[in-house]
Amino acid sequence: MTKTKDVVSYRREKGQSPIYQEIIINGKVDTVTKSFNYAVKKYGGKSCLGTREILGEEDEVQKNGKLFKKLALGDYNWISYEQVAERAHNFGRGLRSLGQTPGSAIAMYAETRAEWMISCLGAFSQNIHVCTGEFIQCLFF
């Protein structure tokens, strides 16, 4: 740790943590795909991604007069690491069957949600790059 009157900096000693040893050194985890596969092996049937059904929407007026949309949400519905892995694998294989090749890129323009994450993991599993909305706008506008 380095400390001055304006800044406090902390630098982890690489390789000293037992978790770092377990995952990075022993597990050889050095990509997003390897990281997710490691989690699937470790947590299998445990809850991974949760979604909530939108039951309704209410208008809420803020103190400044602006209108805010407030969602009424249902209970969480969870899917396991294994279920996410299966769906991601299927999505990745589907991309390959449509002609995408390792090293190619796809564009995804969508709200952040469970399906978005599953799609990314599926693309990454096939070494297919994912470009998101902001990047797409930079390319085409």
What tens digit of pLDDT does each residue of 77-91 get?
999 999 999 999 999
What tens digit of pLDDT does each residue of 88-116 get?
999 999 999 999 999 999 988 888 889 99
Supply the DSSP string of 78-137, one letter for each residue: EEEHHHHHHHHHHHHHHHHHTT--TT-EEE----SSHHHHHHHHHHHHTT-EEE-HHHHH
pTM: 0.77
Instruction: Take residue 3 and report the two structure tokens written for it.
Output: 């400390």
Q: In angstroms, rounded to a whole number, what is the distance separating the alpha carbons of residues 55 and 90?
A: 30
Is the predicted pLDDT of residue 140 greater than 70, yes or no? no
**Domains in the chain and their CATH numbers?**
18-140 (3.40.50.980)
In terms of DSSP bridges, do strands 105-107 and 67-80 run parallel, antiparallel, or are they unpaired? unpaired
